[in-house]
Each structure stands twice: as structure tokens, then as C-alpha cells.
Amino acid sequence: MPALVPAAASQRLFYSGNEAVARAVWEAGTKVAAAYPGTPATEIQEELARYPDLYTEWSVNEKVSLEVAVGASMAGARSFCAMKHVGMNVASDALMTLTITGTMGGLVIAIADDVGLSSSQNEQDSRFWGRFAHIPLLEPADSQEAYDMAKAAFALSEQYETPVILRLTTRVCHVKGRVQVGEREVHAPTGFKKDPAHWVMVPAFARARLPRLFERERALLEYAQNGEWNRLETGTDRRLGFIASGPAYMHVREAFPEAPVLKLGLSYPVPVALARQLADLVDKVLVVEETEPLVETELRAAGLTVHGKDVLPRTGELPPEVLRPAVARLLGGAAVEADPAPPPKVFPRPPTLCAACPHMGIYYTLSQLKNLIITGDIGCYTLGAGHPWNALDSCISMGASMGMALGLDKARGDADQGKRILAVIGDSTFMHMGMQGLLNITYNRGNVTVLLLDNRAVGMTGGQDNPGSGRDIHGEPAPRVDFAKLVEALGVRKERIRVVNPYELPTLFKTIREEIKADEPSVIISDQPCVLIGDYKKLRPLAVLEDQCTGCGNCVEVGCPAILVTRRDRVVKASGKEVDLAFVRIETAACTGCDMCMKTCAPEAIVPAESAAGIGVISVKRS
């Protein structure tokens, strides 16, 4: 990734929330920043890595990234880590004690929630961590606030000796707006000071520090009430007052420009006194929060009468078109604007594996085998659950394919005796949280066949590097993990570790068949790179000889998006059996010549495009 020459101070730049956070973290004089990629947070660290004069890394998981940041804070340096919402579940073990030790150098944790679930397995609300860990939580509404809050969060962290959460959502991370930027500050690390009572959290030391947690929380409540981040906008239409934070504030302002609004920027601790002031001003109060009724519950507990999720949806975003009808109903009688036309009915276009994706060979092969239970994991290869493969039976959390496979193995009753249990996991997910699960399988004598899909990248988030790629965050050479050695060290017998090229379909088929028959754990490592990274080399594209295609449809089952059906037919065979036919062509411009479809084509109708052109059957002129 090219290094970045930071834009001069006081310029107004068109930044996404993620870019704005990166700029602020750099300006704050941060020395160490660690992260594991995850939508919608990924670009914060990608961007930060391009700035000069700070250390950045891709960590193997979010817990490690937070611990790296804690170590840096312990050395008196400003430190940062960024993750998606589910990442904090992994990192929370560190967080829940970090809140007791507190910080030395300012420590800010950006957590990005996927409100609306565009690229995640759940829609959890990270604002709970503020309350759970008794730490302050800032919620920017747009790029400018993301910048302002991220920068200020470091000073807040140092003043109150606490980690600070910067809670983002997709509509901050991936929204671009104008941002006024400033200068980089210098914050030299103050240095490590030996202080076991502060950092060694054995019960006696931790117990002694616990009361500080609540003293700090009281002080932070004071700050939430009187500080700069929470403000009451009095408005003129006093029928209904709003309490809103994050992008929901922008939606409220857009839809109800005259309404009084308590704008929450520091939403934990909840500034109850400000909410009372709003309540005194208006007839009714509506709390607009994405996604859980957190502030609402807190205010109700404090004795305020407020509305919230009784009139608003429990899930998803709360844009103006959702707010307007709900508010009209709440105010009673007011006319709701006519519903816009319903969405037209168009086929879905779910994400799918890329043309020539090495995972496609794996899923094509798995789809041809019977009596399998296949636990899946998180990454591009989760798409194997979709058509045409339907070759995954689960997706829960990072690394879950391992533990779940063992559970299925140990719990199997009569109905599942003949079934083979497989787990499919990618390289990065394996290193994130899968290795322990494999160790657990070998230690507990489970019988699981693990397919370790090593494509040398964190594919789904854009091909970031990891210890399996042999490159660091800057693309520089780094030690590369040897997966065969690693899984052997985790207890898999050498004979049961197989490395395969997933494009070699017959070999792959044979290897999987052999390994699922073994009565002990085995690991099949697929070793071809993601087609979206530099390691992948395109080959000559293919084309279909139209007059040779018999319409058998075998190639369609590979699932390649470059194979298109041109005509369907139904014939009755001599046996009287009806057979559906699908005649195909190949989108030559999209084909990179992996040859998987060719291997499924009995009449040999799929050939290199040049030779097809030579025969004159099909024009394959490339632009």
C-alpha cells in the first residue's frame, strides 16, 4: 500500500468516518495501533498503516490487538485498536479487567457496529460495553464528529485513566462528508513504571482497585452532564422531544427540523439530568437509538416516562422514512405521508464466489459427496452455504467450525452413525480462533476432517495480509506460518495432513474421500491464493464450443459466475426419464482460466478461447 503524505492542517477533506478516525488517531500522536480486519471497521487500520511515524499491525485477532494496545498504554504511549462489533466479544476478556487497571497512555478502542447487517452474522449493540465495563463511550454522527471525538478520546482516556470506546456504525464508517483536520500532536511515551498493584490483577490488587471504577464512573457522569459532547437543542415544536445518538441523530434532524433534541455524543454514562431537562420542555419524549433500547431502559429506570422501542423497530437502521410514520402514530391523528411505491420484484443478487475462486473447487467437490455434516466458519467461504453448492451446515462465530464439529461427533446418535463430519475454515479464521478448536479435537480424540482453506489473505474484507501470507500490514516480507507443521504440532498425525491444489478436482475428490474414511482427525490444506490478491496469476480464458455443448449442466454445478446459461430445454430419454438441459456460454472477459469447469465437461466442449476463436465457432474478441 503506498505511504501517505498527510494533508496539511486546517484543510477540509472529503473523508469517510473510517478515514476521519485514522486521521484523528494519527494527529493524537498515537504510537501503536493494532487491529484485525472486519467490516465496517477495516479501512481505519488500512488507512492508519499509510501514515508515518506510528507502529501499525494486523493482529491475529481482536483480543490480541487490544492486548497490544494495553501494553503500549502501560509504556505510557497513546495506543489504539479498531474492530467490528463481534470482535469485541473476543477482546472483552481483556477489556473487563483493563477497566480495573485503567490506562497510562491514552487508549481508544473503535468498535464498528453493522447496523442493518450488511456483512455480519449478528447485529449486536456495542454500546452495552460502556455500561458493562463502566467506561465512557462516544458516538459520532458523521465524519467530522468521528474525527473530533476520536482525537478528544485520547485526552479523555488520560484524564480519567480509562479506556474509551468510540462506537461507530456502518453509517459513520462508510459515509463520506467534509472534515476539517488539524495538526499532529507529539506525545512521547512517559515510560514503563513498575507497579504491580496497578497492573498485576490478582484478587488482592484487583479488589483494592474496584472502588475506583465507580468513583471514575461518577466523575464521568458529571462530565457527560456538563461536558461538550451532550447538548440540548431546544427547538420550537414542543409536542415531541427526541433523544438520539450516532447517525440516528442526523435522521431525526432531517425528519423533524423543528423538534427539541437531546443530542448524545457521550452516551455512556447516560446524562439523566439532561434527559429530565428535555422531558420538562416537551409533551412526550422519544428515544431514537440503533439498535437496543439502552438509553431508554436507563431513563425508565430513573423514573422518566419515555417512548422508544414501543413505537420504533427493534432491529435495523432508523432513517427518516422509518421515523416519520412511527412519530405520526405516536402523536396521534397526524397524517402520514403516502407510502412510496413498493419495491419492484427483481431476482436477488446475493454475493457469490468470484470466477476461479479456489474455494469453488472445494464446494463443488463437497456438493458431489453424500452423508456429510459440514460445519462452516466466517469468511468468503461461508458463501459455500449458497447455490449451487449448499455445502455448509453452520456459521456461528470465528473458529466455531472446530468446536461444533467435535460436538456433533460426540453427540451423534443412531440417525447420524453413517455420516462423516467435516469442518471448513479459512487460513485467517484458523489463526484467529480456530487453532484452539483443532487442539481440542485432537486432545479429546474426536473424528473430524478439517478443510483448511489457505488462500493467503483475509479475503472477505478485501485481501488483507496475515501470518499466512508472508507479508506484514505494509506488504513487506514477514515470517510465514507453515500450516502443515502447525497442525502437526496441534496433534494431527503427519499421515493425516494432506496438502491439495483445489483446482485439481479429481485429486481433491480422492483426498477428501480418503480422509473422511479415516477414524481420527485429519486436515486437508488447500493451498491456492485468493484471486483478488497479487499472488494470483490469471491464465488464458476459456470459451464454449456451442455445437459441442450437450446441455448436461455439469459445469453449471461448479458455480462459476462466468458461466452463463444461454438456453434451457427438456428432453425425454429412451428410458422415459425427463431430463432438464442447460446450454451454456462462458463470459470470456470474466474467465481467468482455472479450468475447473473444463474438468466437469464430458463432451470436451470447453476449450481455451483462442482455439475456439481459431475454429471460428465463437467470437471471443477481448476489449
Partner 1 sequence: MTNSDSPTTNILVVGIGGQGVMTAAEILAEAALSIGLDVKKTEVAGMSQRGGVVTSHLRMGARVLSPQIAPGQADLLLGFEPAEAMRWSHYLRPRGAVVVNTLRLTPPVVTLGLYDYPEDPVAVIRSKGMRVRDFDAGAVARKLGDLRLVNSVMLGAVADALPFPAEALKSCLLSRFASKGESILDLNRQAFAAGRQLAAQEH
Measured from the Cβ of residue 576, the count of other Cβ atoms closer than 10 Å reads: 6
Burial string for 489-508 (b: 16+ CB within 10 Å, else e) reads: ebebeeebbbebebbbbeeb
CB of 266 to partner 1, least distance (A): 21
Site for partner 1 in 363-382 (CB under 8 A): 380
- Choose the binding region for partner 1 from 27-35, 54-62, 248-256, 403-411 (rule: CB under 8 A): 248-256
Q: Is residue 175 a contact point for partner 1 (CB under 8 A)? A: yes
Pick 176 or 212: Cβ nearer partner 1: 176
- Rounded to an integer, what distance in angstroms lies between the CA atom of residue 15 and that of residue 283? 39
Q: Is residue 529 a contact point for partner 1 (CB under 8 A)? A: no
CB of 34 to partner 1, least distance (A): 22
Q: Is residue 494 a contact point for partner 1 (CB under 8 A)? A: no
Pick 291 or 442: Cβ nearer partner 1: 291
Site for partner 1 in 382-421 (CB under 8 A): 383, 387-388
- Rounded to an integer, what distance in angstroms lies between the CA atom of residue 540 and that of residue 592? 6
Render 49-112 in DSSP notation, one character per residue.
Answer: TTSSSSEEEE-SSHHHHHHHHHHHHHTT--EEEEEEHHHHHHHHHHHHHHHHH--SS-EEEEEE
Cell numbers given for 389: 453448492
- Rounded to an integer, what distance in angstroms lies between the CA atom of residue 440 and that of residue 438? 5
- Choose the binding region for partner 1 from 47-55, 98-106, 173-181, 466-474 (rule: CB under 8 A): 173-181
Q: Is residue 171 a contact point for partner 1 (CB under 8 A)? A: yes
Site for partner 1 in 448-467 (CB under 8 A): 460, 462
Question: Which of 43, 29, 264, 290 is CA-nearest to residue 157?
Answer: 29
493: left (phi over 0), alpha (psi -120 to 50) or beta: beta
Q: Is residue 582 a contact point for partner 1 (CB under 8 A)? A: yes
Pick 349 or 573: Cβ nearer partner 1: 349
Q: Is residue 342 a contact point for partner 1 (CB under 8 A)? A: yes
The amino acid at 370: K
CB of 287 to partner 1, least distance (A): 18
CB of 343 to partner 1, least distance (A): 5
CB of 304 to partner 1, least distance (A): 26
Cell numbers given for 235: 427547538
Size of the site for partner 1 (CB under 8 A): 58
Q: Is residue 556 a contact point for partner 1 (CB under 8 A)? A: yes
The DSSP secondary-structure symbol of 222 reads: H
- Rounded to an integer, what distance in angstroms lies between the CA atom of residue 531 and that of residue 520? 33
Q: Applying CB under 8 A, which of residues 348, 413, 576, 616 lies at the interface with partner 1? A: 348
Pick 69 or 582: Cβ nearer partner 1: 582
CB of 559 to partner 1, least distance (A): 6
Q: Applying CB under 8 A, which of residues 76, 163, 235, 559 lies at the interface with partner 1? A: 559
Cell numbers given for 323: 421515523
Site for partner 1 in 51-90 (CB under 8 A): none
Q: Is residue 170 a contact point for partner 1 (CB under 8 A)? A: yes
Pick 66 or 555: Cβ nearer partner 1: 555
Q: Is residue 561 a contact point for partner 1 (CB under 8 A)? A: yes
Pick 86 or 460: Cβ nearer partner 1: 460
Q: Applying CB under 8 A, which of residues 343, 413, 477, 506 lies at the interface with partner 1? A: 343
Cell numbers given for 442: 485432537
Burial string for 524-540 (b: 16+ CB within 10 Å, else e) reads: bbbbbbbbebebbeeee
Q: Applying CB under 8 A, which of residues 153, 221, 250, 285 lies at the interface with partner 1? A: 250
Pick 64 or 112: Cβ nearer partner 1: 112
Burial string for 200-217 (b: 16+ CB within 10 Å, else e) reads: ebeeebeeebeeeeeebb
Site for partner 1 in 312-341 (CB under 8 A): 317, 319-321, 340-341
| Spatial strand order in the sheet of 55-58 | 55-58, 32-35, 79-84, 107-113, 164-169, 137-138, 266-268
Q: x/- contact string, 88-127, with partner 1 (CB under 8 A)?
A: --------------------------x-x-xxx-------
Q: Which residues contact 392 (CB under 8 A, 6 or more apart)?
A: 374, 375, 376, 381, 382, 384, 385, 424
- The four Cα atoms 303, 306, 311, 315 give a dihedral, to 10 degrees, of -70
Q: Is residue 174 a contact point for partner 1 (CB under 8 A)? A: yes
Q: Is residue 592 a contact point for partner 1 (CB under 8 A)? A: no
CB of 425 to partner 1, least distance (A): 18
Give me the residue label for grid cell 476478556. Answer: 93
Cell numbers given for 188: 512521547
Say how many residues make up the chain: 623
CB of 541 to partner 1, least distance (A): 15
Q: Applying CB under 8 A, which of residues 225, 277, 352, 440 lies at the interface with partner 1? A: 352
CB of 561 to partner 1, least distance (A): 5
Q: Which residues contact 150 (CB under 8 A, 6 or more apart)?
A: 20, 21, 24, 25, 28, 108, 110, 140, 166
Q: Is residue 534 a contact point for partner 1 (CB under 8 A)? A: no
Q: Applying CB under 8 A, which of residues 34, 98, 353, 594 lies at the interface with partner 1? A: 353
Q: Is residue 2 a contact point for partner 1 (CB under 8 A)? A: no
Q: Positive or negative CA dihedral for 360, 365, 369, 371?
A: negative
Cell numbers given for 311: 413505537
- Rounded to an integer, what distance in angstroms lies between the CA atom of residue 170 and that of residue 142? 11
Q: Applying CB under 8 A, which of residues 30, 39, 45, 101 lies at the interface with partner 1? A: 39
Phi, psi of 78 (to 5 degrees): -75, 135
Pick 333 or 350: Cβ nearer partner 1: 350
- Rounded to an integer, what distance in angstroms lies between the CA atom of residue 81 and that of residue 33? 5
Applying CB under 8 A, the residues found at the interface with partner 1 are 14, 39-40, 114, 116, 118-120, 142, 170-171, 174-178, 247, 250-251, 253-255, 317, 319-321, 340-344, 346-354, 380, 383, 387-388, 460, 462, 532, 556, 559, 561, 563-565, 568, 580, 582, 589, 623
